[in-house]
Structure 1
Amino acid sequence: MDLDTELRGRKVFVTGSDGFIGSHVVDALIARGADVTALCVYNSFGSRGWLDESKTFAAAERDGQVRTVLGDVRDAEHMRTAIAGHDIVLHLAALIAIPYSYVAPRSYVETNVIGTLNVLEAARAAGVSRMVHTSTSEVYGTPDSVPIREDHALKGQSPYSASKIAADKMAESYARSFDLPVVTLRPFNTFGPRQSARAVIPTVLSQMLAGVQNIRLGALSPQRDFTFATDTAEGFLRAAVAQVGNGEVIQLGTGRTVSIGELVDLCKAVTGSNATIETDEARIRPANSEVEILLSDPQRAKEKLGWEPAVGLEEGLKQTADWLEGRVDAETALRYHT
């Protein structure tokens, strides 16, 4: 698959462009010559989130290759107007923090479910050739068996995961009911530069880089399959142009899992820290809500997209630590970001 040929000049609309994964996707699209419209959530500061720090984005904006739209996926009329005239829609906008979903579940339904419905309707009205909807490995809950395959049963173990299950099913229903060319990508624990401290890897690395000697964490036993951000972005680009069936679900994961305790040791090796771990009860999920293991089977992504991860966990941790260096201080690093 030649992504330069497939994407050059294509009109691509990206929701959630200001976020962690979305900003990497926008950078990757620009590098392939796509004509990009980046939807960033409206705010009074005119901020485009992480795109404001991207030199790739700044150069493309000057050249007219990319433009920004401020808005909100919860606004159906605005989505219909903004998406009109585009050929491809990559839908990454979502509320994603699991702890916050315990206290504000309605906001997750409004953004993740109704917002996805609005984007599906807008993509349908625009007659797009492909919409890529973003799922999450959290929809599986603690799995019945590993590695997890795409047909594994879905289990809502948090309001966040329940909202994403509902969004996934909306995408599935539009493929079945209206023959909408929508594909669902299901990334496993993406990490890398630009990720907020609400996620475990920047939490650990930030504390270590700030010289904290007692690292505050929640449970250490859960196991996760970590995928580097540029690899996840590559998966989105491939899904945008691959010859796959409407409604197809494809995981993006490495097929390798490590526990949070093991992850801490890897972060120590990267940073040279000798810190110890201190359990912070506020960071522990409710007992029946914790997902104990997430381990993907990457075979379908390889077969359908020609996708394989290129950046290993250790190298990805080093790149993330390098990016965080100079951005952290002890007081901020110790703060629990929900």
Structure 2
Amino acid sequence: MHLKNKKVLITGSEGFIGSHLVEKLVELEAEVTAFVLYNSFNSWGWLDTLDEKYKKHIKVFTGDVRDENSIRKAVEDKEVVFHLAALIAIPYSYYAPSAYVDTNVKGTLNVLQSCRDFNVEKVIHTSTSEVYGTAQYVPIDEKHSLQGQSPYSASKIAADMMAESYYRSFETPVATIRPFNTYGPRQSARAVIPTIIAQILAGAKEIKLGSLTPTRDFNYVKDTVEGFIKVAESDRTIGRVTNIGTGKEISIGELAKKIISLTGRNVEIICEEERIRPEKSEVNRLCACNKKAMDDAGWKSQYSLDTGLIETIHWIEKNLQYFKSNIYNV
């Protein structure tokens, strides 16, 4: 499938990954409709910050994935749907689990049903590496068991199974993309990399983090977005899950030391109790097997961790006003 001139809908378009995906699809000359969560401020999230060369080529549709009527209206004439809208903060899912079910499970159901009803050509459903839980073996391939180690991951497992059921029951052309830990410009301080960078650039002499021993497979946002494009374009991804990750892991502690070194600051790392997940909820190791991404979609990461971190540091330095670095952002 070629995306040029395709009528494309992106849910979660105003968010971190979604806004980068909007830019990429405009560059590919798709007809882009950006689905944005309705709010009385008429805020389009990160889309408000895009260069005019992108904004003039997108249509913005305000609605809520939890509402089936607004989703149906948005999907009605579309050929390709990228479904990214979700609640994603793990700590907040401990306090508001029902909100995660409403948004991540029911929201996904609404998208899938509308895509089925209107015969959408391809649906790209967004999963997360968190559904694997702590790695039972590495690298983690798509056959690895799923473990609901937080209400967030449990809701995403349910959403993934809903997507699979629509493919198996109704032949809805769903492809599930499973990105490992994405980072880069526009990511909120809820995530570890911008948390570290924002605290350092704000002048902190101590940076506060949760557990330092878990390892993660960090994927630069431009690579993740390219994964979305490749999964959408390939017919071989329909009805399948595709990991998007580098195949390399680094501990949070070593990551923090690397970022400190790249910024040239003298900073101490503090492990703060408030930021530590419950013991059985912590995912201790994630490292992707990306063979299927390479074989089925022709995708491979292009950015090294250092290159991606440097670009992220430069962006946060210019946009530090968006970060409340002295407050723990759940």
Q: Identify whether the pair has TM-score above 0.5, normalized to the shorter chain.
A: yes
Matched, 1:189 2:181: yes
For the 8 Å contact 2:81–2:123, the answer to whether it is kept is yes
In the alignment, the residues of structure 1 paired with residue 243 and residue 16 of structure 2 have an alpha-carbon distance, to the nearest angstrom, of 18
In the alignment, the residues of structure 1 paired with residue 318 and residue 237 of structure 2 have an alpha-carbon distance, to the nearest angstrom, of 45
2:254 corresponds to which letter in structure 1?
A: E
Matched, 1:48 2:38: no
The Cα shift of 1:280 comes to: 1.2
How is 1:113-128 mapped onto 2 (pairs within 5 angstroms)? 113-128=105-120
**2:14: which partner in 1?**
18
The Cα shift of 1:78 comes to: 1.3
Matched, 1:110 2:102: yes
How is 1:185-334 mapped onto 2 (pairs within 5 angstroms)? 185-328=177-320, 332-334=324-326
Q: How many residues align?
A: 330
The Cα shift of 1:143 comes to: 1.7
Matched, 1:59 2:44: no
In the alignment, the residues of structure 1 paired with residue 213 and residue 321 of structure 2 have an alpha-carbon distance, to the nearest angstrom, of 27
In the alignment, the residues of structure 2 paired with residue 295 and residue 326 of structure 1 have an alpha-carbon distance, to the nearest angstrom, of 31
In the alignment, the residues of structure 1 paired with residue 314 and residue 302 of structure 2 have an alpha-carbon distance, to the nearest angstrom, of 18
Deviates more, 1:320-329 or 1:144-153: 320-329
**1:173: which partner in 2?**
165
For the 8 Å contact 1:211–1:330, the answer to whether it is kept is no
Q: TM-score, with normalisation over the residues of structure 1?
A: 0.96
**1:79: which partner in 2?**
71
The Cα shift of 1:329 comes to: 6.8
Residue-by-residue CA offset, 1:40-93 (whole Å, 9 max, x unaligned): 1111111110011111xx32443xx31000111000011111101100000000
Q: TM-score, with normalisation over the residues of structure 2?
A: 0.98
Change (3 A) 1:245 1:327: closer
Matched, 1:35 2:31: yes
The Cα shift of 1:270 comes to: 1.4
In the alignment, the residues of structure 2 paired with residue 46 and residue 235 of structure 1 have an alpha-carbon distance, to the nearest angstrom, of 30
In the alignment, the residues of structure 1 paired with residue 232 and residue 198 of structure 2 have an alpha-carbon distance, to the nearest angstrom, of 34
In the alignment, the residues of structure 1 paired with residue 79 and residue 319 of structure 2 have an alpha-carbon distance, to the nearest angstrom, of 38
In the alignment, the residues of structure 1 paired with residue 321 and residue 209 of structure 2 have an alpha-carbon distance, to the nearest angstrom, of 17
For the 8 Å contact 1:210–1:330, the answer to whether it is kept is no
In the alignment, the residues of structure 1 paired with residue 127 and residue 329 of structure 2 have an alpha-carbon distance, to the nearest angstrom, of 22
Deviates more, 1:282-291 or 1:321-330: 321-330
Which runs of no fewer than 5 residues in structure 1 stay unpaired? none
In the alignment, the residues of structure 1 paired with residue 250 and residue 17 of structure 2 have an alpha-carbon distance, to the nearest angstrom, of 21
The Cα shift of 1:331 comes to: 8.9
In the alignment, the residues of structure 2 paired with residue 126 and residue 233 of structure 1 have an alpha-carbon distance, to the nearest angstrom, of 26
Deviates more, 1:239-248 or 1:268-277: 239-248
CA RMSD of aligned residues (A): 1.3
Change (3 A) 1:210 1:180: same
